[in-house]
Amino acid sequence: MNTELIQNASKDSNKMLNHKMKILLDIGQTLMENGADCSRIVRDMRRAAVHLRIPSEQIQSHVTYTTLMLCVSDGERSFTQFRKCLKHGVNLAVLAAVSKLTWRILRGNTPLDPIERAINRIRERPLCYPDWIIALGAAVGSGGSCKLFGGSWTEALVATIAALMGFLAHRTSTRYAFNPYACAMITGFVATLGAWIIPVALGLPTMWYALVACTIFLMPGFPSINAASDLLNRFTTSGMTRAMDTMLIIGGMTFGIAFAILVAGVHNISDVHIQPTDSYLNQAIAAILAAGGFSIMFNTPKKLLAIVAIEGIVTMLIRNVLMLEFGLPQAIGSFAAAAVVGIAALKIIHIVHTPNTLLIIPPVIPLIPCVLLYRLLFAVLHIQTISVEELLEALRFGVNGVTIILAVVVGVSIPNIFIQKRIEAQQQREISAIIAQRETED
């Protein structure tokens, strides 16, 4: 067992230096497979490398969506290691745990073996919630989004049940190792068909808002925001791969939804609007359900749920006030709401000691304008029977929906655009102070 204090890489044997590189790749792989963007992966790996006494000028890293490469060269010897990332998901508790670990080992001057054991514990740790709570969280998040879109509480309940059916279908298809895009297709089909069947079985009219909200839990919010972050931080290859993955997920989901629509014989949703008409109290309750539900689905630590719920309320309040009271377009309202959440998270993370990713994405998922995208989908499915004016109107809704999505993505990415360099410089000063104190003690 290696419990000795870590020495400078120049004094390491070849075996020891490769061991250190393995630990760095373990950290990077854990982050990549659980929803971190490339900037965070490189930052956490370099922070750990400082603790492992590998000088920054001797280490080079190359990060893509499926492969991590690490090269360490001191002028006399050079080693390169690759690591494949075979699965991709979202587990915010793991991201928080790895971030805290890299700071903890740096401050505590931790030996190698305890670091390896800690990484293995993080990778093998159980989820914060049982499976049935996660399924319920995804369903409730979709139901809350239905209410935020302008539906009634009855429609929100139907959307919740339909989303639960879709989530269970997704889990089942994933368990049988189906292609992930086929899983999205199956999920979209089951959820949409469920949202149509439930009112029919109860003798009720079609609940349009339930139809458009029941699949929002499947929207690839994390991949799209990570894609924007990677592109903004010049990780172009990874950003383009994430963007393509996002498009394929949406494509699979859209195919499933379209098939369900054809089976159900649904013809028109032109009367469905996304303008919220409820009181601010009802909107606040729906925002809590949506943000809290999606946070549970993403395995956010329990202690952060209240903060995310409050952020959800603030997000909806800002968007609705700008839309309803000031008459601004929804894209501007959504951008402002996402930007406020992104900037506020920079202060909150220092209070709760957690990565900002945990606080900025779950509250903005309900901003995704499913209704507008559905209108475009219906027009495409019925292109042979609709008029030119109806087609142009549907295209206008589709462009508006894409614009809102881009506004949300750019809004939450504002810290990366304007403030990230300053944050990294501040963290580097703290790391340098820790190293200087360690060398004084040595």
DSSP string, 180-217: HHHHHHHHHHHHHHHHHHHHHHTT----HHHHHHTTGG
Closest CA to 150 of 162, 163, 159, 137: 159
Contacts of 236 (CB under 8 A, 6+ apart): 230
| Confidence class for position 1, pLDDT limits 50, 70, 90 | very low
Q: Three-state SS for 80?
A: strand
96-105, 188-197, 220-229, 423-432: which range is least confident on average? 423-432
Question: What mean pLDDT, rounded, does the chain reach?
Answer: 85
| Confidence class for position 363, pLDDT limits 50, 70, 90 | confident
Q: Which DSSP symbol is given to 116? A: H
What distance lies between CA 335 and its chain's CA centroid?
Answer: 17
Residue 159 in this model has a pLDDT that exceeds 60: yes
Residue 373: predicted pLDDT = 66
Residue 371: predicted pLDDT = 62
Tokens standing for residue 112: 């190698």
Q: Over the stretch 255-295, which tens digit does the pLDDT of each residue have?
A: 888 888 888 877 655 555 666 667 778 888 999 999 999 99
| Confidence class for position 51, pLDDT limits 50, 70, 90 | confident
Residue 71: predicted pLDDT = 93
| Confidence class for position 401, pLDDT limits 50, 70, 90 | confident
Residue 4: predicted pLDDT = 60
| Confidence class for position 149, pLDDT limits 50, 70, 90 | confident
Mean pLDDT of 86-97: 91
Estimate the crossing angle of helix 236-264 against helix 180-201, to 10 degrees.
Answer: 30
Q: Give, in order, the Cα–Cα distances in Å from 285 to each of 141, 313, 315.
A: 11, 8, 12
Tokens standing for residue 243: 């963007």
- List 84's β-bridge partners, or say none: 67
| Confidence class for position 384, pLDDT limits 50, 70, 90 | confident
Residue 372 in this model has a pLDDT that exceeds 70: no
| Confidence class for position 246, pLDDT limits 50, 70, 90 | confident
Residue 195 in this model has a pLDDT that exceeds 80: yes
Q: What letter represents residue 415's amino acid?
A: P
DSSP string, 8-76: -GGGS-HHHHHHHHHHHHHHHHHHHTTT--HHHHHHHHHHHHHHTT--GGGEEEEE-SSEEEEEEE-SS
Q: Which is more confidently placed, 343 or 373? A: 343
Estimate the crossing angle of helix 388-412 against helix 221-232, to 10 degrees.
Answer: 60
Q: Which is more confidently placed, 28 or 435? A: 28
Residue whose entry in the numeric block shows the structure tokens 């142009």: 392
Closest CA to 192 of 177, 180, 210: 210
Closest CA to 44 of 64, 29, 65: 29
| Confidence class for position 439, pLDDT limits 50, 70, 90 | low
Q: Which DSSP symbol is given to 297? A: H
Q: Which DSSP symbol is given to 84? A: E
Q: Which DSSP symbol is given to 387? A: -
Contacts of 204 (CB under 8 A, 6+ apart): none
Most confident of 61-65, 359-363, 364-368: 61-65
Mean pLDDT of 37-47: 91
64-78, 204-218, 369-383: which range is least confident on average? 369-383
pTM reported for the whole predicted model: 0.87
Residue 438 in this model has a pLDDT that exceeds 70: no
Residue 408 in this model has a pLDDT that exceeds 90: no
Q: What letter represents residue 251's amino acid?
A: G
DSSP string, 260-291: HHHHHT----TT------S-HHHHHHHHHHHH
Residue 27: predicted pLDDT = 95
| Confidence class for position 68, pLDDT limits 50, 70, 90 | very high
- For 336, left (φ over 0), alpha (ψ -120 to 50), or beta? alpha
Mean pLDDT of 163-177: 93
Residue 74: predicted pLDDT = 82
Residue 63: predicted pLDDT = 93
Residue 45: predicted pLDDT = 92
Residue/partner pairs of 319-327 with CB below 8 Å, 24 or more apart: 319/367, 320/276, 320/280, 320/283, 323/275, 323/276, 324/275, 324/276
